Amino acid sequence: MKNQYYKNTHDRNFENFKYVYPVISRRSGGLSLGINLNPDKICNFGCIYCQVNRNQMSKHIVNLEILEQELNIMLEMIQDNSLFLHERFQNTDESKLVFKDIAIAGDGEPSVSKYLLETLQILQKFNKLFHIPKIVIISNATGFQREKTKEAFKILALLNGEVWAKLDAGTQSYFETINQYSTSINKIIKNIQDLNPQVKLQIQTCFMKVNQVLPSTEEIHQYGLRLKEIIDVRKVDTVQIYTIARDPAEKYVDAIPLQKLKDICKPLHQIDIQIDYYSGSAN
Ligand code: SF4
């Protein structure tokens, strides 16, 4: 029931909005206002668990004026409570009708978006006008080293914001299997290590069954070593370990039941870091 509820309220289309969408997020624990900088649905990763429907692509142009207008309308609707009266949230548990964050995520990779800096500048302006609990950039870390992205992170740091950086593997081969990206995983780790230290960091990890096979003990071990490589260099607030919650891109991918997920990740608890688990469609 719970997963169905998340499914119903995670639609990235809201009215006729192009870039801003309200969702009830399991990882945020309430209302997350999403900003989609990739209406074109193009991503440099091709994660096998991605739920973005890439059969419905559109143009890549982001009209920042419209994005700003949509954000303004949505923040006003949150402020006067009218958003929570929308039919989308009719069956939502009242405890979840709490504004938790603005998340720059969407259908592609925000750290390589040419619109990220301007979006942060818009948020900086709105931060003075509205109560914004938290700003999060959900990212696969591929664009962290770009100069314009670093400028965006400077603003994110001023806004006390967070990055949730994706790390779904420990070995190069599993990284390529899961994320379908052929760069070195070492480069991804380096990008995460070098992230502006003023920006709070969480690691987000999706584990799943691939052709009914769980991540191996060795893979979890190598993943743990990757986490250590990161925390040796910079602070990580939390590791979010989750599994498939919505229909994935590939049919051979399945969710891991929550208890099983915790069992296979037990060795990670030797690392001095907070780990939170999130159940998926197998529970
Ligand atoms: S990085 Fe995110 S948007 Fe891109 S393919 Fe992976 S899950 Fe999908």
Domains and CATH numbers, the chain: 2-278 (3.20.20.70)
Instruction: Output DSSP code: residue 36.
Output: -
AA identity, residue 62: V
DSSP, collapsed to helix, strand or coil, labels residue 122 as helix
In the reported structure, the alpha carbon of residue 35 is separated from the centroid of ligand 1 by a whole-number distance in angstroms of 15
pLDDT tens digits for the chain (283 residues)? 333 333 444 555 677 899 999 999 988 999 999 999 998 888 999 999 998 877 766 666 899 999 999 999 999 999 999 999 998 999 999 999 999 999 999 899 999 999 999 999 999 999 999 999 999 999 999 999 999 999 999 999 999 999 999 999 999 999 999 999 989 999 999 999 999 999 999 999 999 999 999 999 999 999 999 999 999 999 999 999 999 987 787 889 999 999 999 999 999 999 999 999 998 777 6
The ligand 1 site (C-beta within 6 Å) comprises: 43, 45-47, 50, 52, 108-109, 140
Supply the pLDDT for residue 250. 86
Q: Using CA positions, which residue lies closest to atom 3 of ligand 1? A: 108
Helix (H) or strand (E) holding 242: strand 238-242
Q: Which of 140, 148, 131 shows the shortest CA–CA distance to 169?
A: 140
User: What is the phi/psi pair of residue 132, to 5°?
Assistant: -115, 110
Pocket test for ligand 1, best of 12, 40, 43, 242 (most atoms within 8 A of CB): 43
Q: What is the rounded (10 degree) CA torsion for 76, 82, 88, 91?
A: 140
Contact indicator for 233, 195 with CB cutoff of 8 Å? no
Ligand 1 atom at minimal distance to the Cα of residue 43: 4
Supply the pLDDT for residue 6. 39
Residues 121, 132: Cα–Cα separation, whole Å: 14
Ligand 1 atom at minimal distance to the Cα of residue 52: 8
Contact indicator for 138, 110 with CB cutoff of 8 Å? yes
